[in-house]
């Protein structure tokens, strides 16, 4: 029987995806939404009333930051105090009698700090608050509910989709809360209209089967590049590196077999050098695409300070640790690891050698020869490994949300 109102009685596809995602996160239930922001907004609106208070990480996704900092106080009278979420004393100190929620990302954007989920859950639960965790950067890798998170949110637009072709989100939690989201009188998902389209749900269901394989490969590539870049003296941040502040914590929290994630950052010291790197990578070496999304099958490059974190003021960026030369890489899984490494290495060298600004260090044909010598097949069919630049891909504009 066709469903006539997908808000009230979800089509089977959406319900089925919800069950799959609940199983993925180990929660009783889950409710898919039309976007990650919709999932975040609905969750907060359900947990907080006018006058309530939130303690949130200062390094959340820019849209979440603007929602908490500007929109919710103005429209709903819900205030947020931002803290360094790794500073547990600061988290406790920020709690007031009206605090209902501790909000964090499992791995933060773009700083790649790992949240101490069990400790945050303890702090929240002692005071009867809920711990809400955005797990967009680490599906499969981290299961926040195992460590005490009450609600786990994803933007499915990213790794779960894997193709930057759909926009979707989900709220995972206990059955009672999930049911309350669609309450006929006061349920934000019921009343504000962020329900998921049934066609999107059926597409995403089919992609969950290989999410684990994809995550493991994103992580394997990112780890290799992070280690090699670090050896070359790059200012690289990756939670899989021993020197990363929360490396040991992540080892405790993460599920085996999925590595340390597909995201890494490189600080080029200046916006100019960062832009040069991205242009060289995309337009000369064929390494990645400049786009603000993440979790795509190809590498995506973005300048965090002026894209996904542009909602933050200069002072807020400084506080959150987002320098203007910071490039975020969502490491892709196309081609071979070694072929992609050659492209990345060339791009890095070009950007960091001041003499070579706008000039390839090594003629592109030599890179091509090196690739050929290694018998690496260029996977981009339209770009044979030859005299031409390895890859001149068009910029992808408007292809994806961030
Ligand atoms: C992209 C993103 C969101 C927002 O998701 P949309 O699906 O684009 O609405 C929320 N949190 C994080 C960490 C994200 O990367």
Walk across the sheet containing 263-267 and list its strands: 236-237, 263-267, 326-330, 300-303, 289-290
If you measure from the C-alpha of residue 304 to the centroid of ligand 1, how many angstroms do you get, rounded to a whole number?
14
pLDDT of residue 368: 59
- Nearest CA-CA partner of 401 in 214, 155, 200, 189: 155
If you measure from the C-alpha of residue 386 to the centroid of ligand 1, how many angstroms do you get, rounded to a whole number?
39
**Contact by Cβ (8 Å): 117, 91:** no
Ligand 1 within 6 A of 153 CB? Answer: no
Taking the C-alpha atoms of residue 178 and residue 130, their distance in angstroms, rounded to an integer, is 14
- Check residue 391 and report its DSSP letter: B
Tell me which residue has its CA closest to atom 6 in ligand 1: 36
CATH ID of 211-373, from 3.30.450.20, 3.20.20.140, 3.40.50.450, 3.90.1150.10: 3.90.1150.10
pLDDT of residue 313: 82
Chain centroid to Cα 111, Å, comes to 11
What's the CA dihedral at 319, 288, 257, 29 to 10 degrees? Answer: 70
Tell me which residue has its CA closest to atom 4 in ligand 1: 36
If you measure from the C-alpha of residue 41 to the centroid of ligand 1, how many angstroms do you get, rounded to a whole number?
11
If you measure from the C-alpha of residue 135 to the centroid of ligand 1, how many angstroms do you get, rounded to a whole number?
10
CATH class held by domain 12-208: alpha beta
Ligand 1 within 6 A of 328 CB? Answer: no
Element (H, E) at 154: strand 151-155
Question: Residue 374 phi/psi, 5° resolution?
Answer: -85, 5
Residues 6+ apart with CB under 8 A from 11: 3, 198, 201
Mutate which of 38, 57, 61, 399 to test ligand 1's pocket (most atoms within 8 Å of Cβ)? 61
What's the maximum distance between 2 C-alpha atoms anywhere in the chain?
68
Ligand 1 within 6 A of 169 CB? Answer: yes
If you measure from the C-alpha of residue 43 to the centroid of ligand 1, how many angstroms do you get, rounded to a whole number?
14
Ligand 1 within 6 A of 237 CB? Answer: no
Ligand 1 within 6 A of 109 CB? Answer: yes
**Contact by Cβ (8 Å): 141, 170:** no
pLDDT of residue 389: 40
Q: CA separation (Å) from 329 to 79, 202, 218, 227, 260?
A: 32, 29, 11, 14, 14
**Contact by Cβ (8 Å): 210, 84:** no
Ligand 1 within 6 A of 134 CB? Answer: yes
Ligand 1, atom nearest to 105 Cα? 13
pLDDT tens over the chain, length 402 residues: 344 444 455 678 999 999 999 999 999 999 999 999 999 999 999 999 999 999 999 989 989 999 999 999 999 999 999 999 999 999 999 999 999 999 999 999 889 999 999 999 999 999 999 999 999 999 999 999 999 999 999 999 999 999 999 999 999 999 999 999 999 999 999 999 999 999 999 999 999 999 999 999 999 999 999 999 999 999 999 999 999 999 999 999 999 999 999 999 999 999 999 999 999 999 999 999 999 899 999 999 999 888 776 777 888 887 777 899 999 999 999 999 999 999 999 999 999 985 444 544 455 556 556 655 554 444 443 343 333 344 444 444 444 444
Taking the C-alpha atoms of residue 327 and residue 315, their distance in angstroms, rounded to an integer, is 19
Ligand 1, atom nearest to 136 Cα? 13
- Nearest CA-CA partner of 261 in 308, 210, 226, 234: 226
pTM: 0.87
Decide: helix, strand or coil at residue 158.
coil
* Residue range(s) of every CATH 3.90.1150.10 domain in the chain: 211-373
Taking the C-alpha atoms of residue 279 and residue 294, their distance in angstroms, rounded to an integer, is 18
Would you mind telling me the total number of residues written for the chain in this entry? 402
Ligand 1 within 6 A of 37 CB? Answer: yes
If you measure from the C-alpha of residue 234 to the centroid of ligand 1, how many angstroms do you get, rounded to a whole number?
28
- Nearest CA-CA partner of 285 in 231, 234, 335: 335
Ligand 1 within 6 A of 292 CB? Answer: no
Ligand 1, atom nearest to 109 Cα? 13
Ligand 1 within 6 A of 154 CB? Answer: no
Q: What is the CA radius of gyration of the chain?
A: 21
pLDDT digits (tens, 9 = 90+) for 143-177: 999 999 999 999 999 999 999 999 999 999 999 99
First to last CA, the chain: 36
Taking the C-alpha atoms of residue 254 and residue 400, their distance in angstroms, rounded to an integer, is 28
Taking the C-alpha atoms of residue 239 and residue 230, their distance in angstroms, rounded to an integer, is 13
Ligand 1 within 6 A of 402 CB? Answer: yes
Tell me which residue has its CA closest to atom 2 in ligand 1: 155
What's the CA dihedral at 158, 159, 163, 165 to 10 degrees? Answer: -30
Taking the C-alpha atoms of residue 342 and residue 228, their distance in angstroms, rounded to an integer, is 11
Taking the C-alpha atoms of residue 134 and residue 111, their distance in angstroms, rounded to an integer, is 15
* Residue range(s) of every CATH 3.40.640.10 domain in the chain: 12-208
Taking the C-alpha atoms of residue 291 and residue 225, their distance in angstroms, rounded to an integer, is 19
pLDDT of residue 354: 59
pLDDT digits (tens, 9 = 90+) for 315-327: 888 777 789 999 9
- Residue 20: other Cβ atoms inside 10 A: 19
Decide: helix, strand or coil at residue 383.
coil
Ligand 1 within 6 A of 105 CB? Answer: yes
Name the burial class of residue 227, with classes exposed (0-12), middle (13-18) and buried (19+) by CB atoms within 10 angstroms of its CB: middle
């Amino acid at each position: 029987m066709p469903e006539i109102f997908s808000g009230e009685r979800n089509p089977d596809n959406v319900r089925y995806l919800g069950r799959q995602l609940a199983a993925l996160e180990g929660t009783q239930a889950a409710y898919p939404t039309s976007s990650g922001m919709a999932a975040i907004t609905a969750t907060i609106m359900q947990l907080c009333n006018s006058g309530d208070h939130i303690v949130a990480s200062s390094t959340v996704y820019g849209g979440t930051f603007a929602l908490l900092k500007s929109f919710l106080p103005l429209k709903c009278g819900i205030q947020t105090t931002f803290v360094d979420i790794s500073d547990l004393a600061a988290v406790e100190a920020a709690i007031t009698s009206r605090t209902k929620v501790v909000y964090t990302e499992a791995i933060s954007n773009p700083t790649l700090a790992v949240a101490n989920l069990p400790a945050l859950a303890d702090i929240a639960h002692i005071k009867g608050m809920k711990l809400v965790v955005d797990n967009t950067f680490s599906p499969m890798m981290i299961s926040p509910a195992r460590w005490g998170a009450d609600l786990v949110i994803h933007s499915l637009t990213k790794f779960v989709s894997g193709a930057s072709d759909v926009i979707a989100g989900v709220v995972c939690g206990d059955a009672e809360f999930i049911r309350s989201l669609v309450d006929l009188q006061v349920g934000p998902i019921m009343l504000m209209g962020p329900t998921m389209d049934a066609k999107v749900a059926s597409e995403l269901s089919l992609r969950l089967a290989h999410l684990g394989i994809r995550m493991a490969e994103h992580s394997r590539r990112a780890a290799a590049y992070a280690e090699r870049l670090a050896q070359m003296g790059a200012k690289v941040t990756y939670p899989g590196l021993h020197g990363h502040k929360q490396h040991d914590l992540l080892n405790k929290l993460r599920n085996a077999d999925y590595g340390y994630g597909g995201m890494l950052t490189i600080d080029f010291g200046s916006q100019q050098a960062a832009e040069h790197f991205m242009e060289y990578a995309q337009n000369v070496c064929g390494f990645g695409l400049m786009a603000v999304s993440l979790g795509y099958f190809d590498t995506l490059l973005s300048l965090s300070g002026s894209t996904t974190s542009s909602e933050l003021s200069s002072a807020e960026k400084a506080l959150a640790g987002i320098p203007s030369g910071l490039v975020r890489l969502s490491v892709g899984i196309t081609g071979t690891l070694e072929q992609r490494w050659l492209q990345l290495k060339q791009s890095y060298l070009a950007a960091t050698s001041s003499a070579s600004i706008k000039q390839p260090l090594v003629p592109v044909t030599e890179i091509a020869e090196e690739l050929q010598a290694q018998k690496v097949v260029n996977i981009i069919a339209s770009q044979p490994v030859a005299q031409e630049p390895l890859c001149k891909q068009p910029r992808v504009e408007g292809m994806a949300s961030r």
